[in-house]
Amino acid sequence: MTHERRRVYSGPESLKPNEWSLLGDWTAKAESVVSNEPKGRIQISFHARDVNLVMGPLDRGPSVPFRVSIDGQPPLGASGSDVDGDGSGVLVQQKMYQLVRQPGLIVDRVFAIEFLDRAAEGFVFTFG
């Protein structure tokens, strides 16, 4: 990834286990990525009960709506505490957001988050 330069990412056809990718117009910084346009996506292949992401609006003030999916579908009963069952959430401050909390059997999945406005900043995924 090129740091501190704006770039449009297209992402791979599929993700290997624990691999992640950006889709859309992003700036990769030393410790974060920033969406430059609406519809910027991050996707990651994971095997865990919980998916959390430390993130928030780049600037104080305006919130940034987002939508998450698991294997291309809304999380429904697997939504985390910061997401509705349909996958909707809003970035209001820089913090760790719980995005997925899966019940039952844990299998390999692909998680995606799409930011519906620009200026979302993501730092690090954590899993539980």
Instruction: Please check whether residue 1 lies inside any domain of the structure.
Output: no
> d(Cα 46, Cα 59) in Å, to the nearest integer?
29
Q: Residue 61's pLDDT band (boundaries 50, 70, 90)? A: confident
Enumerate helices (H) and strands (E) in the chain, giving the number of each: 0, 10
Instruction: Please check whether residue 112 lies inside any domain of the structure.
Output: yes
Q: Which domain holds residue 64?
A: 6-127
Q: What is the mean pLDDT of residues 38-58?
A: 97
Q: Is the pLDDT of residue 122 over 70?
A: yes
Least confident among 56-60, 70-74, 76-80: 56-60
Q: How many domains does the chain have?
A: 1
- The CATH number given to whatever domain includes residue 22 is 2.60.120.260
pLDDT computed for residue 55 by the predictor: 98
Instruction: Please check whether residue 91 lies inside any domain of the structure.
Output: yes
Q: Is the pLDDT of residue 37 over 60?
A: yes
Give the C-alpha distances (Å, rounded to integers) separating 59 from 7, 34, 64, 66, 100: 20, 11, 10, 16, 25
Q: Residue 1's pLDDT band (boundaries 50, 70, 90)? A: low
Instruction: Please check whether residue 115 lies inside any domain of the structure.
Output: yes
Instruction: Please check whether residue 89 lies inside any domain of the structure.
Output: yes
